[in-house]
Amino acid sequence: MTTLPLRVRVESGPLIDSSGMMAELSFDVWLDPPRHGSSGKLFRREFLPEVDHIETRELAGWIATHLRPAMLVAAPGLRWVGPEGQPPAWGDLAAIVDRELASRLFEVGLRCDRVGEFEFASDGARRAREELERHRCEESAAQRRIDRLRRQGDEAIARERARAEVDRATRESRLARIRAEQELAREERAIRFSALLEEAAARIDEFVRVRRHDPIHSYVSSDFPLVYRGLRRLLESPYLTGDRFCEWGSGFGVVADLAAFLDFESFGIEIEPELVTEAEELAASFEIPVRFACGNFIPGGDDNYRENLGPSPYLEVTGESAYEDLGLDLEDFDLVFAYPWPGEERTLSDIFEHYAAPGALLVLHSGLEGLIVKRKPTLERARGDLP
């Protein structure tokens, strides 16, 4: 039986690509030299990505009966066995590829008389295998580091996102709580406001009914809802210099009570003792912290100024000043309210201009014009000053 050498020519790259999948590989087995007019090409096989072994059973015809199995020198990770792991019979060759190593076929052409002899083609092949194994280990270690850093990064991002969510939820909860408290406060204030006005109206009606034969002609109630809205607007404006409030001619003290609702430090001055008593009782029934004093709202100590005030049928220029009972002076108040009779606006404005502190506000309730706000000029007009 004639033994003829075989030569295998590799036509494409590694059996396994860098991702670990089987790469496509084609190779030809040649009869060397070609005989019987043959082109020398005996068969062609292809390694496909999903195939991890190939069995060569296509040594057909006469060549299969005249050739002993040729020994292909295996690169690292490649070995030749027969079908189902058995030694190759005549015409049968099989290749099983280790998926974890990138391998290639080295130069062949060696003849092997015994099946199962496996040798490396050269020392270069051995060094190549060792180098490949080292790089594989380095790549695995690098990949592990990358995976670890990615996990750590993902965990850090997750922690940051969780912390941000907690902070956002906390802020939203705090804002919701503040809004709820504000809504409750507004609701409670509205309830107390309505109850106060209802009670004040009943008491005023009863007082007028009892005193119908002996009325206090100088007493007329203000438009309380209008005054309340005006005080709220001023409280939200940049014009106020402080929160101390005084009502001139306070009557039943309703406006002073409303100012206390808005957290002003509130006071009322009334020259009629009976009205002072009524005001104190109304405030006490709602536990409103307002102080009332009986007397004149024109400061004392300057009789000439009082005598020179313009005549008015309703403005009392005599009598003791009420500021001593309050322990305060007119210049200590930041906001003063009055409901003047027609023609008294100028006189009240003069009193305010003469005694009030620079920057203080005077609110006059005019039946025709609504609320009029005046500010005593400052030496240097501040930002937001009224003209």
pLDDT attached to residue 228 = 92
Whether the link from the prior residue into 33 is cis, omega within 30° of 0, is: yes
From the list 88, 23, 22, 98, the residue with the least C-alpha distance to 57 is: 88
In a domain, residue 146? The reply is yes
pLDDT tens-place values along the chain, 387 residues long:
233 333 333 333 333 333 333 333 333 333 333 333 333 333 333 333 332 333 333 333 323 333 333 333 333 333 433 344 444 333 333 333 333 322 333 223 333 333 333 333 344 445 555 666 666 676 677 777 777 777 777 777 767 777 777 777 778 778 877 887 777 777 777 888 889 999 999 999 999 899 888 887 667 888 899 999 999 999 988 889 999 999 999 999 999 999 999 999 999 999 999 999 999 999 999 999 999 999 999 888 766 676 667 656 567 767 788 999 999 999 999 999 999 888 888 889 989 998 999 999 999 998 777 899 999 987 654 444 554
Q: Per the domain annotation, does 228 fall within a domain?
A: yes
End-to-end CA distance of the chain, in Å?
A: 127
**Three-state SS letters, 29-49:** EEECCCCCCCCCEEEEEEECC
Q: What is the pLDDT of residue 327?
A: 93
Beta strands in 191-243 (DSSP E): none
> What three-state secondary structure class fits 284?
helix
> Is there a single domain that holds both residue 198 and residue 318?
no
Is residue 335 within 8 A of residue 240, CB to CB? The reply is yes
- Last residue in a domain, options 215, 242, 270: 215
Q: Is the pTM of this model over 0.85?
A: no
Q: What is the CATH number of the domain that holds 264?
A: 3.40.50.150
* Confidence (pLDDT) at 352: 94
Are 82 and 183 in the same domain? no
Identify whether 328 is part of a domain. yes
Proportion of the chain in helix, strand, coil states, percent, rounded to 5 = 40, 20, 45
- 90 with 155, same domain? no
Cα gap 5→115, rounded to integer Å = 15
pLDDT for position 135: 65
**And the tokens for 360?**
């203080």
pLDDT attached to residue 331: 94
Q: Are 306 and 322 in contact (CB under 8 A)?
A: no
Considering the domain architecture, whether residues 70 and 109 belong to the same structural domain is answered as yes
- Give residue 317's pLDDT: 67
Are residues 233 and 322 part of one domain?
yes
Enclosing domain of residue 299: 216-375
Among residues 163, 190, 215, which one ends one of the domains?
215
**Domain-located, residue 381:** no
Distance in angstroms (rounded) separating the CA atoms of residues 27 and 45: 6
φ and ψ of 72, to 5 deg: -90, 130
Quick one: 52 and 72 in the same domain? yes
Q: Are residues 326 and 270 in the same domain?
A: yes
Cα–Cα distance measured from residue 71 to residue 5, given in angstroms and rounded to the nearest whole number: 10
Tokens of 263: 């957290």
Give residue 312's pLDDT: 61
Pairing of strands 53-56, 41-47: unpaired
pLDDT of residue 305: 73
Same domain assignment for residues 80 and 208: no
Q: Is 383 inside any structural domain?
A: no
In a domain, 62, yes or no: yes
d(CA 336, CA 246): 5
Residue 227 shares a structural domain with residue 326: yes
Domain count, the chain: 3
Same domain flag for 203 and 311:
no
The verdict on 195 and 333 lying in the same domain is no
pLDDT of residue 339: 92
- Of 196, 215, 234, which residue sits at a domain end? 215
- Whether residue 135 lies inside any domain: the answer is no
Question: Which of these, 245, 262, 257, 269, lies nearest to 200 by C-alpha position?
Answer: 257
Output the pLDDT for position 216.
78
CA torsion angle for 7, 12, 14, 18 (degrees, to 10)? 180
* Residue 383 in tokens: 């930002």
Tell me: do 37 and 80 sit in the same domain. Answer: yes
Question: For the residues of 101-169, what is the DSSP string, one character each?
Answer: S-----------SSTT----S-HHHHHHHHHHHHHHHHHHHHHHHHHHHHHHHHHHHHHHHHHHHHHHH
Q: 386 lies in a domain?
A: no
